[in-house]
Amino acid sequence: MATQKIHFFEEGTFKGIRFSKTLFRDIANRIFTDHSKELLFLNIIFCDDDYLLEINRTHLNHDYYTDIITFDYTMTHIESDIYISIDRVRDNAAIQGVPVREELFRVMIHGCIHLCGFGDKTPEEISKMRAKENEYLSLYYKS
């Protein structure tokens, strides 16, 4: 059996979201393969708003809530920690009118796409990011 390179963790006490880790690993590996990125490790840490806000303040000097923070430790291959606020995922799903599990996949996919060099600061970057998210999210729908 191959060693898992994508790991999932929880920080704090909250009710997480059940999802297929196998399906996500397949999608993430496809993203990295499509963009010629070697995966050494990816840790996805689920937390609540307050936990992620503190990371945002401490490490990025931002004083606002966010759904995801991606720490990319190298440019040559994938070694990363991705923090995801389950509170934001639930709220965003409600706002968008989509199932929570689908929004969770979108956010996790978003983090992987960032690790492949895509940004989301300008309107053009956001448009490209959304297109990539939708491309890989379609694999979720096919499962």
Token pair of 82, please?
């991705």
Beta strand 6-10 pairing with 39-47: parallel
Q: Which of 73, 65, 116, 82 is nearest to 9 (CA)?
A: 82
pTM over cut 0.75: yes
pLDDT at 140: 85
Instruction: Tell me which residue has tokens 């999608």.
Output: 27
Beta strand 78-85 pairing with 68-72: antiparallel
Residues in the chain: 143
Can you list the residues of the chain whose pLDDT is less than 70?
A: 1-3, 13-14, 143
Instruction: Tell me which residue has tokens 């291959």.
Output: 77
pLDDT at 16: 77
CATH T-level assignment (fold) for domain 6-142: Collagenase (Catalytic Domain) (3.40.390)
pLDDT at 75: 83
